[in-house]
Homo-oligomer: A and B are copies of this chain.
Amino acid sequence: MQIPTFDDVLAAHERIRPHVHETPVFTSSTFNRLTGAELFFKCENFQKAGVFKARGASNAVFSLSDEQADKGVATHSSGNHGLSLSYAAGRRGIPCTVVMPRTAPEAKKEAVRGYGGTVVECEPSTSSREAVFAEVVASTGAEFVHPYNDPRVIAGQGTCSRELMAQVEGLDAVIAPIGGGGMVSGTCLTLSNIAPEVEIYAAEPKQADDAYRSFKAGHIIADDAPVTVADGLKVPLKDLTWHFVSNHVTDILLAEEQEIIDAMYLIWQRMKIVVEPSSAVTLATIFKNKERFAGKRVGVILTGGNVDLKKLPWM
């Protein structure tokens, strides 16, 4: 296990700067009034590929040797990581293969192809996915980039809170949603180095509370097949992300499904921005834990905006 350092975050930031946005920070007088806190929303929904994962993926792709880059990169993800890796590979002009279940929505496959990636279909089972993915790597020699349990990816995600700390003075806390823990780990890595006094909260759907239960138990507990509207947050912690979560997170807070949907709706309605359900878990948990955040300056990471506009959860 190779644990990334803050120097890796600094190197990542230089490396990816031409390929990602410095996303803006939004405030909302409505949400400040409703929560009693001062909230600073870091809008990664405006990031390239619509999600913070463009940071980690770009860092992984642009740190490859030329020789490795020629062989390309590969991953298995029907979601934001596949999209982000395709984006980053497209920027470097190298091949990217994404193994996706043939049952995945056509729109997601099209999005990967739109950035120049190649979609290879597997059956919707773990065994088929692993077999097809092994075949892809064997035949192409592509470098596997894991969605979060990869030091290059975590260092890349760490650039987000580095920006946030430069954009907003005097934050008391930062909160981010947690699935596999890539964003939270990057946040821990950066803040523990440049602002160790800032509290770090992770927000998780109650129906996919494996990180919460792991945190309380002191070891990784993986959910079997969690069901939540926040579909980016279904994956379990792995050894690298567990390292950061167990050492640096202040607490993990939970939200019910309807609370997540309500918070998402409110963000769209009041802030006029498109965020995906995973992004709304943070605000939902702040509403539930007002006493904890009241009077504090809180950075809230809105992780992404990739959502099917024709199938919204409140419809």
Contact = CB atoms under 8 A, between A and B. Distances in A.
Contact of A314 (B26, B272, B309, B314): B309
Interface in A121-173: none
A172 B198 CA distance: 46
A46 B273 CA distance: 9
B309 A46 contact: no
A217 interface: no
A305 interface: yes
Contact of A265 (B50, B273, B275, B309): B309
6 contacts: A26-B46, A265-B309, A272-B274, A272-B275, A273-B274, A310-B314
A269 B24 contact: no
Which of A271, A272, A305 has the most chain B CB within a 10 Å cutoff? A272
A48 to B, nearest CB: 9
Given A45-B272, A265-B309, A272-B273, 19 more contacts: A24-B24, A26-B46, A46-B271, A46-B272, A50-B272, A268-B274, A268-B309, A269-B274, A269-B309, A272-B274, A272-B305, A273-B273, A274-B274, A309-B312, A309-B314, A310-B314, A310-B315, A312-B312, A315-B315
Interface size class on chain A is 10 to 19
Contacts of A24: 24
Nearest to A44: B272
Contacts of A309: 265, 268-269, 312, 314
Interface in A261-287: 265, 268-269, 271-275
A24 B274 CA distance: 16
A50 B273 CA distance: 11
A206 B244 CA distance: 57
A168 to B, nearest CB: 16
Q: Which 4 pairs show the lowest CB-CB distances between chains A and B?
A: A272-B305, A272-B274, A45-B272, A268-B274
A146 to B, nearest CB: 26
Contacts of A312: 309, 312
